Amino acid sequence: MNTKSPKQLGATIRARRRQLKVTQKDLALTCGTGLRFIIDLEKGKPTCQIGKILQVLQALGLKLRISDPNTDTNQDEKT
């Protein structure tokens, strides 16, 4: 998925959490964050700390991929 905004990232995280049938509270406990952080992250708050975001992504089995659009040859991003 090509995520371009905090709101899109939050929606992706929310969808994955729900797919795994994990509550926001349980995710917060697993990641060592507060419940408020998870709520804000899923709402797309742009000032969420990247370190905590990475913990949440890892806990949900999601990967963050950063690519240079000038050199990326991934077919998914061309369509």
Q: What pLDDT, in 10s, does the model give residues 63-72? A: 998 888 888 6
- Cβ-contact 44, 4 below 8 angstroms: no
CATH architecture of 6-62: Orthogonal Bundle (1.10)
State the pLDDT at residue 78.
47
Least confident of 23-27, 67-71, 75-79: 75-79
So where are the chain's domains? Answer: 6-62
pLDDT band at 3 (very low <50, low <70, confident <90, very high): confident
Mean pLDDT within 14-23: 97
- The shares of helix, strand and coil residues in the chain, as percent rounded to the nearest 5, are 55, 0, 45
Q: For 53, left (φ over 0), alpha (ψ -120 to 50), or beta?
A: alpha
